[in-house]
Amino acid sequence: MVGPEGPGRAGRVGAGCERCVELREEERRAEGRGDPSGATDCRVLLRRHAGECRAAGEGAL
């Protein structure tokens, strides 16, 4: 997946949303430890969450 932040990024993160930030940080940790499955899980959760997240904006992903 290629988003606005490059390959492997699931799109915008709501800067004011703690959950968005947590998911993006966990994605980066998973990538750092060589866990592509964990990183993918985080991107899926972030995408699902962004559908409800007002901080990420309407239709953020």
Query: Domain map of the chain by residue range?
Result: 2-50
Q: What is the DSSP letter of 55?
A: T
CA 6 to chain centre: 12
> Which of residues 43 and 57 earns the better pLDDT score?
43
Average confidence (pLDDT) over 39-47: 95
pLDDT at 17 over 90: no
pTM of the full predicted structure? Answer: 0.66
Query: Residue 22: pLDDT band by 50, 70, 90 thresholds?
Result: very high
CB atoms within 10 A of CB 61: 17
Torsion of CA 53, 55, 40, 23, to 10 degrees: -100
- The least confident of 6-20, 23-37, 46-60 is 6-20
What pLDDT score was predicted for residue 53?
82
